[in-house]
């Protein structure tokens, strides 16, 4: 009897996002039934290629087994939709954006249809004429690519994806586009383009000019003629500065993508999917799945025979998905079936290393990456060749880079991709993709505000086996995140359990490059930098990625995005003994104050916040909610009284705002271009608006909300848990939310 072995967290994620529900939202499917549904739907494709009922049943059984054992899982849309009404099985798409108003808004419409079906989209805006360029048809001037990116962003915001996910986009601009400097800085304000990841499309000419300190030409895409020059090193430094500031833009090495474009006779690669690992032609979609490497470990080696079998089954599965899929646009169906690209990748790489006794930040780990991905690449190509013999090569094979008469035809134009595995790695109980552990242990807050310590099972197992386990140690590890520097943990265990911030940037890039060497498409990975990292450190990462043959690179400096909620906390400083704590005198309320009252909407009705000050500054706050009282009104009044006491005790109002801002209730409401997350958040907003009015004499035109800043960088908007920035995106380890998919 089949029984998927899942953690409690994995079952929660499945129930929330994947399992079928009835019209009232009740789960009507078990995890085992999900696996059977997907396996049955995908195996049925074999009938198109002459398989009989018995053969199809055998394929279904094999597909069921590898998913049931959590050895392989397809991308999320396949798990969600295979065998159900939507039947849209692809995660990511690339759409063209041509230089006309009609084409631009056709792309907006197509993106909305894709987002509605559950996919993410990539765009190259490099064909759009630059800002202030001529528009001959109207006699006016062009508004430029960035203005149209905002249109795409707004459309994405308006579309909910099938009730489960919100759309995400990748925006790419060539480094030789005249608007490149504006593009590099377009996300400096964290409230702008919140539904986009952005990357600069870098060319070989540009990188050579960077090394030489030379200038390079800017090319007007309307005329294809030079229209100016910039110093390459200055532009590179601006990219570095912005990436250091908040993690964007990333870099995509465009010429390198096209050097490995399998079908150059069909078109040029201009963009990728939202996380950057899947370069695609216009109107192509990606079809991904991942092998859980931790399931194949045998002592200090791998079960290579079992891995070979699963690789072949996975390629068979992914090729079938192309035919089982229901595409959102006919152009996408035509292009996808003409090239039949699939992307088989891995998850659980960090788990595999730990099980084999290999520290992530060593040359041995790089060698292990090359070994395992080289094997997967070889066997996946062999499987694709065998499918081509049975079913025929992909239709665009003639004229492709494989059409050389030296090797047998392939069924699929690309075969391997290292993709983000956010939610499927939670389901599989595996570490994400090829990333190191984010933390060995962390604290999770559950619904009743109880705190639970989540410990990596391999660490807990070793701690118990070797006699250094204790609940107090687990709490220490959860506070610190890493085990390095903790005396109670043996040195060899400290070495083995490297976390993202224990690892040098060079080692991060080295692992990515090792996988890239044996990957047809690209590799999704984040180079995590300490908060103290310099812009020179970022520049060194970019140059190293270029030198080692990566196709793109993403960095993230810890805490660099406004409002980030860290996944692990710093050690608390030792506090003075109670007798040493200084007393603070609260000055009495003044006889005369001046101020103003603001109306702030909340889920419990309008809240009227009165802010008064005297000659020393703001001294009191009153908050009255509605007319009927109740718990919310009482809480807001109590908070306001405490704020008044704190203000008259000399606490800066900015510190009070910082403490209240972003506190989230179950029912936030929209207000003045942003969102009021709760009563306390509303009081903080009122204080912010008062300071703005007092300092400028003007009303604040919109509010800067925790939804816009904190949630994308640190707090899950679905469940409120801490997000992790890895695999090029913000992911929730609890509910499976991903900012990019």
Per-residue pLDDT tens digits for 673-720: 677 888 898 999 999 888 888 777 777 766 644 333 333 345 676 766
Tokens (6 digits) for 508: 């991060």
Give the distance, in angstroms, between the CA of residue 131 and the centroid of all CA atoms in the same chain. 30
Neighbour-count burial of 57, counting CB atoms closer than 10 A to its CB (0-12 exposed, 13-18 middle, 19+ buried): middle
Please identify every stretch of the chain with a pLDDT value under 70, giving residue numbers as ranges: 1-2, 160-166, 444-451, 561-584, 626-629, 666-667, 670, 673, 701-715, 717, 719-722, 741
The answer for 196, left when phi > 0, alpha when psi is -120 to 50, beta otherwise, is: beta
HSE-up (13 A, CA, CB side) for residue 563: 22
Q: Which residue has the tokens 């009482």?
A: 634
- What is the model's pLDDT at position 726? 80
- What is the model's pLDDT at position 565? 33
**Domain spans, the chain:** 8-88+287-427, 92-197+204-229+253-272, 594-713
What is the sign, positive or negative, of the torsion defined by CA atoms of 660, 662, 666, 672? positive
- What is the model's pLDDT at position 124? 97
Neighbour-count burial of 8, counting CB atoms closer than 10 A to its CB (0-12 exposed, 13-18 middle, 19+ buried): exposed
Angle at 400 (CA atoms; ends 265, 273), nearest 5 degrees: 75
Neighbour-count burial of 51, counting CB atoms closer than 10 A to its CB (0-12 exposed, 13-18 middle, 19+ buried): middle
What span, in angstroms and rounded, lies between the C-alpha atoms of 379 and 522?
18
Is residue 123 within 8 Å of residue 183, measured between CB atoms? Answer: no
Is residue 429 within 8 Å of residue 6, measured between CB atoms? Answer: yes
Residues classed as catalytic: 273, 275, 277
Closest CA to 342 of 366, 367, 324, 328: 324
Query: Phi and psi dihedrals of 280, rounded to 5?
Result: -140, 150
Is residue 706 within 8 Å of residue 715, measured between CB atoms? Answer: yes
Give the distance, in angstroms, between the CA of residue 67 and the centroid of all CA atoms in the same chain. 24
Closest CA to 412 of 287, 527, 505: 287
- What is the model's pLDDT at position 345? 98
Statement: the pTM of the whole predicted model exceeds 0.85? no
What span, in angstroms and rounded, lies between the C-alpha atoms of 168 and 153?
9
For strands 92-95 and 120-124, give the pairing.
parallel
What are the angstrom distances between the C-alpha of 271 and each of 202, 257, 279? 12, 9, 6
| H or E element in which residue 698 lies | none
What span, in angstroms and rounded, lies between the C-alpha atoms of 429 and 348?
8
Q: Which residue has the tokens 């310590």?
A: 453
What span, in angstroms and rounded, lies between the C-alpha atoms of 323 and 411?
13
Closest CA to 434 of 368, 512, 502, 501: 512
DSSP string covering 398-451, please? TTSTT-SSSS---S-S--B-B---HHHHHHHT---TTPPBS-SEEEEE-TTS-E
Q: What does the buried/exposed string (b/e) look like for 185-223 if buried means 16 or more CB atoms within 10 Å of the residue's CB?
A: bbbeebbebbbbbbbbbbbeebbebbeeeeebebbbbbe
What span, in angstroms and rounded, lies between the C-alpha atoms of 517 and 393?
24
What span, in angstroms and rounded, lies between the C-alpha atoms of 700 and 679?
19
- What is the model's pLDDT at position 714? 53
Helix intervals (H) in 247-279: 254-259
- What is the model's pLDDT at position 451? 66
- What is the model's pLDDT at position 573? 43
- What is the model's pLDDT at position 577? 44
Is residue 372 within 8 Å of residue 302, measured between CB atoms? Answer: yes
What span, in angstroms and rounded, lies between the C-alpha atoms of 683 and 656?
10
Beta bridge partners of 218: 228
Is residue 95 within 8 Å of residue 283, measured between CB atoms? Answer: yes
Domain 8-88+287-427 is in which class?
alpha beta
What span, in angstroms and rounded, lies between the C-alpha atoms of 490 and 482?
13
Is 228 strand, coil or helix?
strand
Closest CA to 113 of 52, 69, 156: 156
Is residue 422 within 8 Å of residue 731, measured between CB atoms? Answer: yes
Closest CA to 514 of 418, 643, 618, 619: 418
Q: What does the buried/exposed string (b/e) look like for 712-730 if buried means 16 or more CB atoms within 10 Å of the residue's CB?
A: bbbbbbbebbbbbbbbbbb
- Is the backbone peptide bond immediately before 4 cis, with ω within 30 degrees of 0? no
């Amino acid at each position: 009897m089949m029984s998927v072995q899942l953690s409690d967290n994995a079952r929660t994620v499945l129930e929330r996002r994947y399992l079928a529900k009835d019209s009232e939202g009740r789960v009507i499917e078990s995890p085992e039934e999900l696996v059977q549904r997907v396996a049955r739907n995908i195996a049925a494709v074999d009938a198109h290629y002459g398989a009989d009922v018995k053969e199809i049943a055998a394929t279904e059984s094999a597909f069921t087994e590898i998913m049931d054992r959590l050895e392989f899982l397809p991308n999320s849309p396949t798990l969600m939709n295979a065998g159900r009404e939507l039947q849209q099985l692809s995660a990511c798409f690339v759409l063209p954006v041509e230089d006309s108003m009609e084409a631009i808004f056709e792309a907006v419409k197509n993106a909305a249809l894709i987002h509605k079906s559950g996919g993410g989209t990539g765009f190259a805006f490099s064909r759009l004429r630059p800002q202030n360029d001529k528009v001959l048809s109207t006699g006016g001037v062009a508004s430029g690519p960035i203005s149209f990116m905002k249109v795409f962003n707004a459309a994405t915001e308006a579309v909910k994806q099938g009730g489960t996910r919100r759309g995400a986009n990748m925006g790419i601009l060539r480094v030789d586009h005249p608007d490149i400097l504006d593009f590099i800085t377009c996300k400096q304000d964290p409230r702008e383009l919140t539904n986009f990841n952005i990357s600069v499309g870098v060319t070989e000419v540009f990188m050579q000019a960077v090394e030489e300190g030379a200038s390079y030409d800017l090319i007007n895409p309307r005329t294809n003629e030079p229209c100016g020059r910039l110093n390459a090193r200055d532009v590179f430094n601006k990219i570095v500065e912005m990436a250091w500031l908040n993690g964007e833009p990333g870099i995509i090495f465009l010429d390198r993508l096209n050097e490995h474009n399998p079908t150059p006779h069909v078109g040029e690669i201009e963009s990728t999917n939202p996380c950057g690992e899947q370069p695609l032609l216009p109107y192509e979609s990606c079809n991904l799945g991942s092998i859980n490497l931790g399931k194949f470990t045998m002592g200090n080696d791998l079960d290579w025979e079992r891995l070979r079998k699963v690789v072949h089954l996975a390629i068979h599965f992914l090729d079938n998905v192309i035919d089982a899929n229901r595409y959102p646009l006919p152009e996408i169906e035509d292009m996808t079936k003409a090239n039949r690209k699939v992307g088989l990748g891995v998850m659980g790489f960090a788990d595999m290393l730990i099980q084999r006794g290999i520290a992530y930040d060593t040359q041995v780990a790089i060698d292990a990456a090359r070994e395992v991905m080289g094997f997967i690449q070889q066997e996946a190509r062999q499987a694709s060749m065998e499918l081509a013999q049975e079913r025929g090569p992909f239709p665009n094979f003639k004229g492709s880079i494989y059409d050389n008469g030296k090797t047998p035809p392939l069924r699929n134009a690309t075969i391997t991709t290292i993709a983000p595995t956010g939610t499927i790695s939670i389901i599989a109980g595996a570490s994400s993709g090829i990333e190191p552990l984010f933390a060995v242990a962390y604290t999770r807050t559950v619904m009743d505000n109880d705190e639970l310590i989540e410990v990596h099972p391999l660490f807990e197992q070793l701690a118990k086996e070797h006699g250094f386990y204790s609940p107090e140690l687990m709490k220490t590890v959860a506070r610190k995140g890493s085990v390095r520097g903790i005396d109670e943990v043996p040195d060899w265990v400290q070495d083995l359990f490297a976390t993202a911030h224990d690892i040098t940037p060079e080692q991060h890039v080295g692992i990515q490059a090792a996988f890239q060497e044996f990957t047809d498409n690209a590799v999704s990975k984040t180079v995590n930098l300490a908060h103290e990292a310099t812009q020179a450190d970022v520049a060194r990462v970019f140059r190293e990625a270029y030198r080692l043959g990566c196709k793109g690179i993403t960095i993230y400096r810890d805490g660099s995005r406004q409002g980030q909620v860290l996944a692990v906390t710093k050690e608390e400083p030792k506090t003075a003994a109670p007798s040493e704590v200084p007393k603070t005198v609260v000055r009495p309320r003044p006889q005369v104050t001046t101020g103003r009252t603001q109306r702030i909407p909340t889920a419990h009705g309008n809240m009227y916040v009165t802010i008064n000050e005297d000659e020393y500054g703001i001294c009191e706050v009153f908050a009255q909610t509605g007319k009927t009282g109740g718990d919310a009104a009482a809480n807001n009044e109590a908070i306001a009284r405490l704020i008044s006491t704190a203000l008259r005790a000399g606490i800066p109002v900015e510190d009070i705002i910082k403490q209240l801002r972003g506190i989230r209730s179950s029912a936030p409401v929209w207000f003045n271009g942003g969102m009021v997350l709760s009563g306390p958040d509303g009081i903080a907003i009122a204080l912010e608006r008062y300071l703005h009015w007092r300092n400028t004499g003007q009303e604040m035109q919109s509010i800067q909300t925790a939804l816009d800043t904190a949630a994308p960088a640190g707090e899950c908007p679905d469940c409120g848990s801490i997000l992790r920035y890895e695999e090029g995106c913000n992911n929730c380890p609890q509910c499976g939310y991903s900012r990019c998919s």
